[in-house]
Structure 1
Amino acid sequence: MRTTISINEDWLFTASQIDPALPDLSVMETVNLPHTWNAEDGSDGDDFYHRGVCWYAKKIIRPDGECVFLEVEAASQIAEVYLNGTCVGRHQGGFSSFRIDLTETMRPGENLLLISVDNGESEKTYPQFADFTFFGGLYRGVKLIVVPKNHLKLEAGDPGLHVTAELLEDGSASVRTDTGIHTGTRGTFCFTIEDAEGRTVEKNVTEKGEATFTLREPHLWDGVKDPYLYTARVRLEESGDEVAVRFGVRQFSVDAELGFFLNGKPYPLRGVSRHQDRQGKGWAVTEADHRQDIELIREVGANSIRLAHYQHAQYFYDLCDEAGVVVWAEIPFISRFMPGKEAHDDTISQMRELILQSGNHPSICFWGISNEITMKGESEALLQNLNDLQELCHAMDPTRLTTMAQIGAVSLNSPTNTITDVLAYNIYLGWYVGKTEDCADWLDERKHAQPQRALALSEYGADANYEIHSDQPKRKDYSEEYQCLYHEGMLQIIEERPWLWGTYAWNMFEFAADKRNEGGTKGQNTKGFVSYDRTVKKDVFYLYKAYWSKDPFVHVCGRRFVDRVGETTEVKIYSNQSEVTLYCDGEKVGTKNGSRIFRFTIPLAGEHTLRAKAGTCEDTIRIRKVEEPNPDYQVKGGGNEGVDWYLDEYGNRQRLTEKDGYFSVFDPIGMILANPGGAEVIQSLLKQVAAAFTKAGEQQETPKVDENLMEMIKGISPADLIEMSAPKLAGQVLPPLNEMLHRIAK
């Protein structure tokens, strides 16, 4: 028999260093798991949070049973485990589970378990540089697993049973079950397949550690419409050790022109990305938190999720299986490539554990091998690392497709574009740089250059502080209204390009990014459709619901934009119904037929109650006329001025000017370089950007304007480059650079 014992309660914790041989438990505080020490400082926006070694301790009684294993569901990022002063194991990688055999070291009665967890900077494990907080801690939970001496595999978080289901041409399904235990192991294995009601539909008793079944008329896992799940079970007859896993029977493919297919039918993947943290908890979230997230994702109508940028909790993958959403699962090989062998081996280890531990989930259709990993350039070592990951994925799991999220500025000629089975790009035209409509030409250019490649949008989005509002929204003003305007444009662009095999809005939820302090929000990336604490659905949430959801609804935008100036105001309504009627103070304003977005204009005079009706659905908001704009709707320290400003040395907002007939920091870098004298200015800019990323003691090299770098930056302006790469230098770099450019005639 196998017994699982949760030991999440009553741990001791300290950020101080202790001697595992002679620990002083009196300096430690009591905590429960899941736990992180960065729940507060990881999202306060000061670009500093505690990173280093912390310790957990717990007294445990040896349970009855022949063998005892410790299972740690996640420890960010490097963990060492001590039992009664003896180091019994180590694990590197902050997102996968691991197990340690305690049997020989654990004594009868009371034992002292110590776990050190280190989320400090390292050249050995990913991630180390990215736009999110790396929370430290035992943030998923810990348990003991008690098994007989003759037991199924427990190493490296192995589920003990792996299932591969293949849909055959005659409509039947071949289901292969494998324990990973083969020749040389004595025992009798009883394999069974159960339907969703728990009825046994197939059974095989064998002395081999594997069995293959044929399901004549399989019930398919058919996405959100019908996410049907079977259960596979294996039992070692001699010892009684048993494990069960769920699986689904489905078939999928991607066509470069027609997109994603599920079970032979077109199934456009329209999804969101998700980080696992939330306000006040960091990564230490509960099962209830996970359930709320999947419910919100399904409410908005998404049928796919990109689980960025690391392995997520097995419980969340279970929820995805149950909800029928197609999953892109990936490892944190992100942003900054580390060329050492240990870092290379870390990517291999993290990918191996992701596939090993998550391979039974039918929701997972894509293994993601990297995210924006060419951000700081390309090298032979990087190409080798990516190719090694590609080969590993196919060796371990030939049934799924590989993909990667490329930074949008990557060269079309980059060899990294041809490594994975399918490809995707992170594109933020309309937010960080350029205009939203530029994305259409950008996508078409990539498609024309790579006609045989299946392409997707892995990220796109715009930040919005839901307390910031404007009746004249523009890029980088952080208003809720601009976020909607941006996504209205992006959704139209996506709809016109059915060849995109998937699209993933960034992001479903706001998440912690401690280095950020912008738009009136500290320590968060605010591109989410839903607030960091999950209490506020921004207007953009309902825009996507209008496109994706079949559940009838109507939503009046601007419920937080109460105070409005002017003689009239626009009332915008999102709905998936074809007809919407608006009432103002009980009087009918009008009825409009259309699709998804409905606009009305009403006169402003005092306070108004606005009510929209669409079929049986209703929604109401209240607004009022004011003489002056409400200062609470503006980013503190100034108006919603977009990108044409910087903070001087005193923290005051100053405007950057343009000069007729001359260049400025708002002109494209490629255009500046084409002009005599422009190269010198751009070299000065790149030197200052490089300095921002050079560690103390390292020699700084001025980047050369080579073909690849030019391809990446030619379409953006110096102001955009500084804002993306070193925003804190804006006040130092941009004003003198602007003056230099004002002396160069166009």
Structure 2
Amino acid sequence: MLVVAVLFCSPIFAQKSQRLTQNWEFLKGDLGGIYEAIRPVKAGNPESVPVWEQVQLPHCFNAKDAVTPDVNYYQGPGWYRTQLAISNPYKNGRTLLHFEGAGQKTKVYIYDVLVAEHVGGYDEWTADITDAVTAFRKNPLFEKQFKGKIPVEIRSDNSRDLEMIPSDLSDFNVYGGLYRYLNLVYVPQVSAEKVFATASVDAKGSLGTLKISSTLLNPDGVDTVLVKFQVKDPQGKLVASFNKEWKAFYGKKDLWETSLKHPVLWSTDNPNLYTVEMSITANGVTSVHSEKIGFRNFEFVKKGPFMLNGKRLLLRGTHRHEDHAGVAAAMTEDQIREEMELMKSMGVNFIRLGHYQQSRIVLDLCDRLGILVWEEIPWCRGGLGGESYKNQARTMLRNMVEQHYNHPSIIIWGLGNENDWPGDFSEFDQHKIREFMKELNDLSHVLDPSRKTAIRRCDFCKDIVDVYSPSIWAGWYRGIYTEYKEVSKQEFDKVDHFLHVEWGGDSHAGRHSESPDNALSLVTKGKGADERAGDASLFGGSARVSKDGDWSESYIVNLIDWHLKEQENMPWLSGAAYWPFKDFSTPVRPDNPIPYMNQKGVVERDLTKKEAFYVFQSYWTTAPMIHIYGHSWPVRWGAANEEKMVKVYANLDEVELFVNGKSLGKRKRNSQDFPAAGLRWMVTFKEGQNTIKAVGKKDGKVFTDEITQEYQTEKWDKPAKMLLEKVSEKDGIAVIQVKVLDKNNILCLDAQNYISFGITGDGTLIDDMGTARGSRKVQLGNGRAEISIKTNKGKSVASVIADGLPSAFVEINP
């Protein structure tokens, strides 16, 4: 019998929960039938399927191929299997498999019985395997073949399907696999299935209200339950309690309402969290459910800014995709925490989770770190499909709201992204899209009247939602960055509630420029700053920096610097969110400097900081920081005695610069003095090595930063040869570097050739990472590129090839 998968929304499971990370096998591809997954595989048996591999969960079967330069990433089925020792401690309890997210269609089997299936790659759900486990224990194979363990098989499928969201036209991978945590959960006979804790407070913070409702997991129909509540403040002190005996109820039921005078408020600077514990006792067994909540008041002022707890707060935001070097979507909790803490250290107080419901771990961290959230469903591009398509959107919206309802960090439910982008269907009907957007908007407000709705870039629906973000890419896809404030004000005037999400541009990590703004002279001014069809392409169309610029870090820091200094003087602005925080993989950008990578992040796909990170930090943080631009710029160039600008990004009041031990004077920081807020010096470098040091003070403490750069005055001809050499080796990892030289062996510092690394022998390339130093095929940055090799304690020959240049080789010896 097939059991429909049910929701699971408890951040702390009812009683017993175990992450199932070990002892999994994976098969890429499909099977002829379920028996191919459950029959024993014997060594040397040619009739068995020999291609299962050992894996750990979470696991994404696009961990590497999403950025492999030679092939499209795999979209299709994959199988997982394991054997579980199941021992539910509760009499008449339920045994559940709780999926925190699996992509994109999933079927769950106990031995040969299909027990649950789910459509959608981003919401949580459970499979109740209780009855199937009981039945299999009567099977003679339970002891004979499986030694008292329960065989579990899971089919995951991310095949292309027009009648599913998100569209495969989206600018991100639609990943496959069990890429979020899977949990084995034991609950008593009766437990809380969903708990909704509505915490509200007036703008002055004088009176807080808490309303709690719940649904029960009670498949046996136990008729009487005792429900108890305890509320504890951020210091763990009990501040309210309640208990009552109820007749069993079905569906959502209001259980308790209470008030708290002057609750400790949640804010981005002080994210104070209360704890609500709900215990349910039935037939002498108690289950406990715990939620974290926060009391905060927010408002998007009509034709004005954003208010948190009665005071204006400029939303300083970014975006996140669930994607990371080497694992794709299968990020561990430690990796997610490192990423979110790095965002907070950059000064982020707002994030849009693009473009789908994300892991509960992310939302918990936003609650604890003080990061406000716009979370959205993956109705992204392609148009509007049929009834199954719309049902999936409705279901995913309901699941997202119900599963993340209690997070104080969430202020916006996003209903769609770029829904003006056709392509999946023969019909593109704006009226039908509007009608469905209205339906989703109404559903969101029914599910959660306390939060706002929003969409990005669909002008013909902008009047439907509470908050609208138009397309503004000043200085990248259209226009020049100095038009940013003017264009933003024009868009602000068109709606009641304006929030600017998605701005920025691509930068190839390690590429720098002495004249980064040159491409701006080619761009037509005054024609708007919205992205349009084909703008992401590197070919054809009107002049734009995204196509005609140098993709240097030098340009992007200027663009970001200008935007941030303008945002400080836009009193009507609710906020803006840079797109995105981290480089991520995408199938629609094969021709980028790192193939299949969107490179707009301020950190690379492995969290390596780009120079742009420090520009944000200098505007958005108060912890003292100082950073000289150019840590990843080993060689600058120009004529002898030519003055070059040195920029320092800092949040200190005053900075002094030293070049080769000589002071070039002090500069005071002024955020409106572009670039670098006035912390810039014109410097005459000597040929060869130069030492640059910046010194600043705050509260009597000294803060410094120092770099060394070479200055090259020799002019180079066109690239003629490549030099490949090993530059370091440690702990079995060798780093090799290629340099492109002209016929006179002068480094070609503006060379941007595509090069491809290879290796023969015992070593293996550490590639398919989607980073500038972890990609087999990559464009040069200032005439050079690097990659690492795992030597495996053996001998190898590494190679590099490029069109029009002789290949180069280097031996790697132990």
Paired residues of 1:478 and 1:519 also in contact (CA < 8 A): no
Note closer, same or farther for the CA distance 1:519–1:48 as it changes in structure 2 (3 Å cut): closer
Specify the code of the residue in structure 1 equivalent to 2:438. Answer: N
Note closer, same or farther for the CA distance 1:356–1:433 as it changes in structure 2 (3 Å cut): same
Please point out which of 78, 84, 94 is paired with 2:105.
Answer: 78
Please point out which of 182, 193, 197 is paired with 1:142.
Answer: 182
Cα distance in 1 between the residues matched to 2:357 and 2:628: 37
Tell me, what secondary structure is at the counterpart of 1:179?
strand
Cα distance in 2 between the residues matched to 1:269 and 1:449: 20
Q: 2:102 matched to 1:51?
A: no
* 2:87 alignment partner in structure 1: 63
Tell me, what secondary structure is at the counterpart of 1:321?
helix
Paired residues of 1:464 and 1:519 also in contact (CA < 8 A): no
Q: Equivalent residues in 2 for 1:376-455 (5 A)?
A: 376=422, 378-406=429-457, 410=459, 414=460, 416-450=461-495, 453-455=496-498
C-alpha displacement of 1:62: 2.4
C-alpha displacement of 1:45: 4.0
Note closer, same or farther for the CA distance 1:446–1:426 as it changes in structure 2 (3 Å cut): closer
Tell me, what secondary structure is at the counterpart of 1:614?
strand
C-alpha displacement of 1:402: 0.6
The one-character-per-residue Cα deviations of 1:547-594 (angstroms, maximum 9, x if unpaired) are: 110111111001222212223221011111121110011110111112
Please point out which of 599, 610, 615 is paired with 2:680.
Answer: 599
Cα distance in 2 between the residues matched to 1:214 and 1:449: 39
Please point out which of 459, 482, 507 is paired with 2:580.
Answer: 507
Segment of structure 1 superposing worse, 595-604 or 227-236: 595-604
* 2:280 alignment partner in structure 1: 236
C-alpha displacement of 1:488: 1.9
Q: 2:134 matched to 1:89?
A: no
Cα distance in 1 between the residues matched to 2:69 and 2:432: 34
C-alpha displacement of 1:319: 0.5
C-alpha displacement of 1:633: 4.9
Cα distance in 1 between the residues matched to 2:748 and 2:75: 38
Q: 2:617 matched to 1:545?
A: yes
* 1:248 alignment partner in structure 2: 294
Please point out which of 128, 141, 151 is paired with 1:112.
Answer: 151
Note closer, same or farther for the CA distance 1:184–1:262 as it changes in structure 2 (3 Å cut): farther
Segment of structure 1 superposing worse, 571-580 or 194-203: 194-203
Please point out which of 211, 232, 236 is paired with 1:194.
Answer: 232
Specify the code of the residue in structure 1 equivalent to 2:667. Answer: K
Where does structure 1 lack aligned partners over 5 or more consecutive residues? 154-159, 639-651, 653-746
C-alpha displacement of 1:605: 1.2
Cα distance in 1 between the residues matched to 2:556 and 2:84: 51
Paired residues of 1:47 and 1:514 also in contact (CA < 8 A): no
C-alpha displacement of 1:520: 2.3
Note closer, same or farther for the CA distance 1:576–1:351 as it changes in structure 2 (3 Å cut): same
* 2:715 alignment partner in structure 1: 628
Paired residues of 2:340 and 2:365 also in contact (CA < 8 A): yes
* 1:611 alignment partner in structure 2: 693
The one-character-per-residue Cα deviations of 1:362-406 (angstroms, maximum 9, x if unpaired) are: 000110111111122652221122111101110000000111111
Cα distance in 2 between the residues matched to 1:161 and 1:304: 26
Note closer, same or farther for the CA distance 1:467–1:133 as it changes in structure 2 (3 Å cut): same
Tell me, what secondary structure is at the counterpart of 1:297?
helix
Cα distance in 1 between the residues matched to 2:691 and 2:380: 48
Please point out which of 194, 200, 204 is paired with 2:242.
Answer: 204
Note closer, same or farther for the CA distance 1:143–1:25 as it changes in structure 2 (3 Å cut): farther
C-alpha displacement of 1:47: 6.2
Q: Equivalent residues in 2 for 1:662-681 (5 A)?
A: none
Q: Which one has the bigger helix percentage? A: 1
C-alpha displacement of 1:417: 1.1
Specify the code of the residue in structure 1 equivalent to 2:129. Answer: L
Paired residues of 2:108 and 2:114 also in contact (CA < 8 A): yes
Q: 2:21 matched to 1:8?
A: yes
Where does structure 2 lack aligned partners over 5 or more consecutive residues? 1-13, 42-49, 138-147, 247-252, 423-427, 518-544, 717-746, 756-778, 780-814
Paired residues of 1:468 and 1:635 also in contact (CA < 8 A): no
* 1:219 alignment partner in structure 2: 264
Paired residues of 1:583 and 1:611 also in contact (CA < 8 A): yes
* 1:483 alignment partner in structure 2: 556
Note closer, same or farther for the CA distance 1:185–1:198 as it changes in structure 2 (3 Å cut): farther
Cα distance in 2 between the residues matched to 1:263 and 1:170: 7
Tell me, what secondary structure is at the counterpart of 2:116?
strand
Paired residues of 1:46 and 1:517 also in contact (CA < 8 A): no
Tell me, what secondary structure is at the counterpart of 1:449?
coil
C-alpha displacement of 1:184: 9.2
* 2:414 alignment partner in structure 1: 368
Cα distance in 2 between the residues matched to 1:291 and 1:612: 31
Tell me, what secondary structure is at the counterpart of 2:165?
coil
C-alpha displacement of 1:359: 0.6
Note closer, same or farther for the CA distance 1:374–1:17 as it changes in structure 2 (3 Å cut): same
Note closer, same or farther for the CA distance 1:25–1:473 as it changes in structure 2 (3 Å cut): farther
C-alpha displacement of 1:193: 0.6
Q: Which one has the bigger strand percentage? A: 2
Cα distance in 1 between the residues matched to 2:751 and 2:479: 23
Note closer, same or farther for the CA distance 1:437–1:206 as it changes in structure 2 (3 Å cut): same
Please point out which of 197, 203, 226 is paired with 1:163.
Answer: 197
* 1:588 alignment partner in structure 2: 663
Tell me, what secondary structure is at the counterpart of 2:87?
coil
Cα distance in 1 between the residues matched to 2:650 and 2:749: 29
Query: TM-score if structure 2 supplies the norm length?
Result: 0.74
Q: 2:540 matched to 1:473?
A: no
Cα distance in 1 between the residues matched to 2:191 and 2:350: 36
Note closer, same or farther for the CA distance 1:623–1:264 as it changes in structure 2 (3 Å cut): same
Segment of structure 1 superposing worse, 161-170 or 118-127: 161-170
Q: 2:192 matched to 1:152?
A: yes
C-alpha displacement of 1:481: 0.3
C-alpha displacement of 1:295: 1.3
Tell me, what secondary structure is at the counterpart of 1:437?
helix
* 2:734 alignment partner in structure 1: none
* 2:766 alignment partner in structure 1: none
Q: 2:630 matched to 1:558?
A: yes
Cα distance in 1 between the residues matched to 2:681 and 2:121: 50
Cα distance in 2 between the residues matched to 1:347 and 1:519: 32
Cα distance in 1 between the residues matched to 2:273 and 2:750: 48
Specify the code of the residue in structure 2 equivalent to 1:468. Answer: R
The one-character-per-residue Cα deviations of 1:313-356 (angstroms, maximum 9, x if unpaired) are: 10110010001111111111112123211111111111111001
Cα distance in 2 between the residues matched to 1:561 and 1:274: 27
Cα distance in 2 between the residues matched to 1:449 and 1:152: 45
Cα distance in 1 between the residues matched to 2:690 and 2:592: 29
Specify the code of the residue in structure 2 equivalent to 1:130. Answer: S
Cα distance in 2 between the residues matched to 1:307 and 1:152: 28
Query: TM-score if structure 1 supplies the norm length?
Result: 0.81
Q: 2:63 matched to 1:20?
A: no
Paired residues of 2:502 and 2:579 also in contact (CA < 8 A): yes
- Figure out how many residues of one structure are paired with residues of the other and give that number: 623
Moved over 4 A (4+): 181-185
The one-character-per-residue Cα deviations of 1:220-253 (angstroms, maximum 9, x if unpaired) are: 1122x21000110111123201110100011101
Cα distance in 1 between the residues matched to 2:577 and 2:487: 17
Cα distance in 2 between the residues matched to 1:564 and 1:288: 38
Q: Over the residues paired in the alignment, what is the CA RMSD in angstroms?
A: 2.0
Q: 2:366 matched to 1:320?
A: yes
Tell me, what secondary structure is at the counterpart of 1:137?
coil
